Amino acid sequence: MTGRTHLAVGVAAALLAAGPAAGLTGLAVAAAGGAVGAVLPDLDVRDTAHPWRERLTRAGAAALLAGALVFDAANGASLAREAVTHGVGPLSLGAVGLVALACAARLSAHRSFSHSLPALVGFAAATWLVCPPLAPYVALGFATHLALDALTYRGLRLFWPSRHGFSARLCHTGGIVDACCLAAALVIAAASLWQALP
């Protein structure tokens, strides 16, 4: 699937999981976590026919994260308090883990380590050590990425380091299913935000 579809589906899934009861701050955190999780597996993308699209997708996830942090800071800084409460040791360990996992993902072949369940668990655990409220949404966004890519003809090594690839062979990246997933995700995200408005 395309990066924009991964981003939109990750955000929509996270917003649905958080629900309108989370309030605007909670939804901002959920959207940021879902967005970041949804783009993490594609850290392994280095050579692409449309590099600016990849950059825009990553920039979109970064902007959502920065916006959520600013919004949270303006509304009580609960994320910062959670991180501080968790302690310097877990925070440091989580940060080192995130950097190590990101490097491993960047150096891996496309749809191998970074598109696996071990990577999902690793990123979720490291995020939990840094900022527990973000972790479930990062994991959910990551999971949506794996699920969408599993639908395509090109396999992913879900159980890395096993060399066996998995592919449902149902659709092509950039095809009609990709476009339908993107449209549905945008509608769901908009509806989720609409329900949360006072």
pLDDT tens for 102-158 read 999 999 998 999 999 999 999 999 999 999 999 999 999 999 999 999 999 988 999
Q: Of 145, 113, 131, 143, which is closest to residue 39 (Cα–Cα)?
A: 145
What is the residue range of 96's domain? 3-196
Q: Which residues pair with 156 in a beta bridge?
A: 166
Q: What's the pLDDT score for residue 50?
A: 66
Q: What's the pLDDT score for residue 85?
A: 82
Could you tell me how far CA 102 lies from the centroid of its own chain? 13
Confidence label for 47 from pLDDT (cuts 50, 70 and 90): low
Q: Which residues pair with 52 in a beta bridge?
A: none
CB 62 within 8 A of CB 160: no
Distance between CA atoms of residues 13 and 186, nearest Å? 11
Query: How many distinct structural domains can be found in the chain?
Result: 1
| Structure token pair of residue 171 | 């659709």
Neighbours of 195 (CB within 10 A): 12
| Structure token pair of residue 5 | 């579809």
CB 111 within 8 A of CB 155: yes
Least confident of 58-62, 95-99, 139-143, 151-155: 151-155
Q: DSSP states of 134-145 as a string?
A: GHHHHHHHHHHH
Single-letter residue type at 193: L
Q: What are phi and psi of 120, to 5 degrees?
A: -55, -50
